[in-house]
Chain A
Amino acid sequence: MAPDKADVWQGTLALMVLKTLESLGPLHGYGIARRIEQTSGDLLSVNYGTLYPALLKLEQEGHIASEWGTSDNNRKAKYYKLTRAGRKRIEKEEREWEQTTAILARFLTPSEES
């Protein structure tokens, strides 16, 4: 496991998880994974090894909270929901992402002056 790569992944994955929970409300791990895969147009595949450590990290940092519940088809599952700190983090990260992409976009689209 190369920690550098995982961190980068986890950075973006964390935002995806948070956005998912924001739009769908409390959700279990499988639901989160499916939603991310669908939203990405099945370009991303989320396995245990990346998802659960990311969820744990978010929970340790206090951005999400978890409790056990029952799923639609009556299966016991752990549900994650967004905390207030999590909402704040979404705002912050969204701003930063927009900024980053805007900057990157300037590099990627050829400038008209030159």
Chain B
Amino acid sequence: MRALRAWFVRFGGLFGKRRRDRELAAELESHLQMQIEDNVRAGMTPEEARRQALISLGGVEQAKEIYRDRRGLPWLETLLQDLRFGLRMLAKSPSLTSIVVITLALGIGVNAAIFSVVDSFLLRPLPVPRPEQIVVLASHQQGAPMGASHFSYADLTDFRKQASGAFSDLFAYAPAPVGLSVEGRADQMTVSCVTGNYFSGLGVKPALGRLFLPGEGERLGDSPYVILAYSYWQTRFGADRDVIGKQVRVNGSPATIIGVTPKDFHGTYSILDMDGYLPLNMFAQGPQAEALFTDRKMRALRVLGRLKTGVGAAQARSAVSVIAERLAVQYADADKGVSVRVIPETLARPDPDIGTMIPVVAGLFLLLAGLVLLLACLNVANILIARATVRQREMAIRSALGAGRARLMRQVFTEAILLAGLGGAAGVILGAWASGSVLAMLPKSNPPFHLDFSFDWRVFTYALGAALFTGLIVGLWPAWRAARTNLNAVLHEGGRSDSAGASRHQVRSTLVMIQVAGSLALLIVAALFVRSLHRAQESYLGFDPHHLLNVVVDPHEIGYGEARTKDFYRRLEDGVRALPGVQSASLAYNFPMGAFSDGRPIEIEGHPLPVGQPPPIVLFNEVDPAYFATMRVPVLQGRAFTDSDNETAPPVAIVNQTMVEKYWPGADPIGKRFRVVGSPGFTEIVGIAGNGTYMILGEPPQPFFYLPLAQSYTSLRTIQIRSSVAPESLLLEVQREIRNLAPDLPIFDAETMEQALAGANGYFVYRFGATMAGVMGLIGLILAVVGVYGVMSFSMAQRTREIGIRMALGANRRDVLRLVLRQGLTIVIAGVVAGLACGWALTHAMGRLAAGPSNPGPFILGGAALFLACVALLACWIPARRAMRVDPMVALRHE
């Protein structure tokens, strides 16, 4: 305790230094005088008395020094001194300081921005107690397409019963769009239909009212309740606390609002912000509603669990796979070939299948960002080394005045860390702005994306770490130099430094060479991303995406029955077709790359599946006769649907080329039959459509079939409008048409096909990757150019005398140019060669990880190398011109 008190007093001793010094001097002086007086009293002469007193008391200045060290905290004082001095040095050369700070800010900013994205996907835990216990259960059935990792309710019940050893709770949700009517006004909202124990399992407490209780909503008809999300409660209900108990209609059925979730809870589907929560029994309607709870083939639930305390992932995994195997035997018709994985929640965002890929992508981008930071560090190190040369005399003088090596190194390091700290602070600001712009890049979608790239402590820690790393890197070499300053040589040299810089120059050239190499690697990766964006934008999608408007509605959301819905759509289609500027219009369940892609298990007539093999799941769409003409999907063989393919006619289908090749290879498929598993009769193929892109851009060709809308009813439909005018200009009139027919009906989604294509299922990912990689490539390029320019002009400035002598001895301008360019060219060529190797290795590693485009090919490799070499040589050209203009007389008299 006493030591602590002393520490505080000493900390206080850092202040009011002058007054204390005066006091000490006075005290020592009075001590001395008293001793002298005593000596005089003992019989000495005044001079002798003073002499003796001084001898016995020892050195006054030394005493003061010891006293001062004891009074304050010497190391802190030195640090403050160094900081003050460093700041003064930085303020003295503002342009150099700002270049360094901006360079570091770019490097650290890119890292902070990228890391904030990574943080939001991979690191930030759910806002629930003990989030590390939350895991996602992902099922996979052999032959099922990617993304089908869901559970049936019946399977969930079995897992709940049998896995209670490993999990304290298993709960599930299923996102769904619903219509919410309050006092006659209908709105579309995105909800999660959840099991009763969803909130208790997660440990979420209500902000208002109550949440669902375990067991609630897991039987048909009970608990018609609605829970609102905080933000939706704020915007839609103005944070009205009386909302609890309010009667509303969900998809036309009466329900009561019972609670509001807390502000920071956005649901468990990470990229969407849920507007509310419904009990599971409101997920489906009619016969489907019953099937949700009984049919094991109806896999709609995303299952999460909370591990019991002390249970590890491995234990949970083995418990789950035992149960999965048991179920596969017990309910072979539904669960054959199903395996279940247990994944930490943070690695399953937004979907288990995508989630496991995200760390790889994140690693790639962090690697690129790290490369940018490294380039920035090299640049700054180069600048500081140049400055160290200039400051060599200062260091020598300090050392002559008694500063030890450690002290000099500390000074240089303090300055480097100071610069890195400034750069880090600027970088965090820049990064926050950058991640804001990344968010602004996100496509508008329905339901809207919810991504939070805000900076939390993890991002700040990362940025701080990056800044410290930077400080160490850029300070290392100058500090080492400072400690090794050769006093004699520097002071004797009298300020001339023709020869001293040779080895240092080697170092700087090497650094620039690495910069050129790293920058080229970045450029190659960036070019690769840009190329794949270009390819994606140019690729043939199987239909014509121009002049096309999609509007999605679902009359079920305002409680329309089947007859009324069909009537509504018939009148809507007629009304839209009559609008001026509309060429044609059609109705379908989904549109290509739309939000509602759906697949069904099928069986081919005459090809029964081997026992134990699950049926293949094939994507499909339900379309009306006008669809093929409106979308310009080519029907290659047979016919399109007609109005006579109605409820009473025999069921028909149109399949795509890939489906023909896969299931009827070599045969004429027209007239062949297949059926969706579980449907009573077989469906006859009447036409073959061209292949297309159905779910996401870049998918491999996959089987697909079309069914007539008239033969399979859905209430949610998209109307496609092919226009001769700009499609967005039709939107208002289409909305008016819908409002005339059904005033309350919320419009789900209304965008042009081109807008949709820019979205998440379209080339957004490509654009995102291209932008990020492009920005990093650009920064890398700028840094490399600045590096080359810096090292060349510094070297020219140092060689002014040499060039002057050469010119005096008869060298002409061309010789000088050759001299300079040779030096520059050596650096650039060495850098380009190393960069090609790096870029090649990097892109191949990317290809191996399947995380991005790969195989740059000679065009990109050569193009990037040539481009960089040209820009770098241009950066050499300016100092070379300056060298050419050297006037020998001036150069020799200089210094």
Contacts and interface: CB of A to CB of B under 8 A. Distances in A.
Pair from one complex: yes
Interface of A: 1, 28-31, 33-34, 45, 47-49, 52-53, 56-57, 59-62, 71, 73, 75-78, 85
A61 B63 contact: no
B34 A49 contact: no
Given A29-B31, A61-B5, A49 B70 contact: no
B33 A53 contact: no
A52 B30 contact: no
Interface stretch (B54-62, B756-764, B833-841): B54-62
B30 A77 contact: yes
Given A30-B34, A30-B35, A75-B33, A57 B67 contact: no
A76 B26 contact: yes
B67 A56 contact: yes
Interface-central residue, A28, A30, A34, by most chain B CB under 10 Å: A30
Interface of B: 2-3, 5-6, 9-10, 23-24, 26-28, 30-31, 33-35, 37-38, 56-60, 62-63, 66-67, 70-71
20 contacts: A29-B27, A29-B31, A30-B31, A49-B59, A52-B63, A52-B67, A53-B63, A53-B70, A56-B70, A57-B6, A60-B6, A60-B10, A61-B3, A61-B6, A71-B30, A75-B33, A77-B27, A77-B31, A78-B23, A78-B30
Contacts of B58: 47-49
Contacts of B56: 45, 47
A54 to B, nearest CB: 9
B77 to A, nearest CB: 15
A110 B374 CA distance: 72
A76 B30 contact: yes
B71 A47 contact: no
Contacts of A45: 56
Contacts of A62: 2, 5
Contacts of B66: 1, 49, 52-53
Contacts of B3: 61
A67 to B, nearest CB: 11
Contacts of A53: 63, 66-67, 70
B57 A56 contact: no
Nearest to B34: A30
A47 B57 contact: yes
Contacts of B5: 60-62
A30 B38 CA distance: 11
A48 B70 CA distance: 13
A34 B9 CA distance: 28
A102 to B, nearest CB: 26
B30 to A, nearest CB: 5
A52 B34 contact: no
Nearest to B13: A60
Given A47-B56, A49-B58, A73 B37 contact: yes
Contacts of B10: 60
B435 to A, nearest CB: 49
Nearest to B58: A47
Contacts of A29: 27, 31
A60 B3 CA distance: 9
Nearest to B31: A30
A25 to B, nearest CB: 17
B808 to A, nearest CB: 58
A34 to B, nearest CB: 8
Given A73-B37, A75-B33, A52 B6 contact: no
Contact of B62 (A33, A49, A60, A77): A49
Given A53-B67, A53-B70, A78 B6 contact: no
B478 to A, nearest CB: 31
A53 B27 CA distance: 13
Contacts of B70: 53, 56-57
B868 to A, nearest CB: 57
B26 A49 contact: no
A61 B38 CA distance: 32
A34 B58 CA distance: 15
Contacts of A85: 2
